[in-house]
Amino acid sequence: MSDMAPVHVVAGVICDVRGRILLTRRTDGRDLAGLWEFPGGKVEKGESPAAALKRELREELGIEAEPGEFLISVPQAMPHKRIVLEVHHIRHWRGRVRGLDGQALAWVPAERLSQYLMPPADRPVVAALLHAPLYLVTPSPASMTDKQWLHGFTAALTTGIGCIQLRAPGCESARWHALLGEAVACAQAQSPSTRLVVNGDQALAEQYGIGLHLPERLLMARAARDFPAALALGASCHNPDALRHAEAIGCDYAVVGQIKASASHPGKPGIGWAGFARLREVSSLPLYAIGGLGAEDMADARAQGAQGIAAIRALWPQGN
């Protein structure tokens, strides 16, 4: 099936004046019947994505819409076909929304989108809507003083980073535990919406009530989630088997790479965006791309289905 050309599908994130987002339910007789999705449909031969989206929304919902800014494009492998779901914001439209194909409609507050069962390709779209796209992996405190590390961490909290992975390779255990406690307290006071995850240490994660990030070796040794549902569980993945396992045990996201050559992995070539897209196809998890990337790579990341980019040096505040 990997040699099959993917079907190009477009969808729109339609908001009403209250900020709610429109979902439609797939009707009986269709693939994935009964699941909720962002409205849209297939791009026909010779048709632009924007023209296809306008046509589909007119035919399905009876509205005249103007496709807006690009959100994300998600490659996804299904049992009998491959698709690429291209999603745009729809902020300007006119008409009365109706289910012209008999489909059920729901106007959903953004924070409740994850409560609706959706096709695999739509799950990364929800993540792109709900979570900030930058994921900082901290450098180890072993390479600097406590003051320098905490200064860098607190500076990072002011930059709009959505998730910070706290890691300390080579750092003495007691020192790291003390630093981690200070970092968590600082984040809770200054930026409570920033998601924190600690690398590899479940006891520390549960002690401080923060998320846990699993290196791939720990992921593959784990048979079940075995971690509180209220806390984020992520994993590093480098191949399809790891991604499938992360999804099977209930991880909330994965970090995938490396995309380009990077200073943290000298001499190792990256998999490139084409390699990332192949991995994106096998999982519906929100994925962060990592390896030689910075904020300037966000457009490429979203075009290949990434929730965002993860980095150490490129996102750690300069001068720290």
Domain boundaries defined on the chain? 7-121, 134-311
Cα separation, 258 vs 239, in Å, equals: 11
Note the pLDDT of residue 268: 78
Closest-CA residue to 284 (of 311, 251, 239): 251
Note the pLDDT of residue 319: 62
Average pLDDT for consecutive 10-residue bins of the chain (320 residues)? 84 96 95 95 97 98 97 93 97 96 97 96 96 96 96 95 96 96 97 97 97 98 97 98 98 97 75 96 97 96 96 87
Question: Model's pTM, two decimal places?
Answer: 0.92
Note the pLDDT of residue 129: 96
CATH number corresponding to 134-311? 3.20.20.70
Note the pLDDT of residue 269: 84
Cα separation, 39 vs 291, in Å, equals: 34
Note the pLDDT of residue 79: 85
Note the pLDDT of residue 307: 95
Closest-CA residue to 73 (of 147, 11, 142): 11
Closest-CA residue to 306 (of 287, 278, 283): 287
CATH number, domain 7-121, options 3.90.79.10, 1.20.120.1200, 3.30.565.10, 3.10.150.10:
3.90.79.10
Helices (H) and strands (E) in the chain, counts: 9, 17
Cα separation, 284 vs 243, in Å, equals: 9
For residue 132, give Cα distances in angstroms to 127, 160, 197, 225.
Answer: 9, 8, 15, 24
> Residue 30: which residues within 8 A CB-CB, separation 6 or more?
none
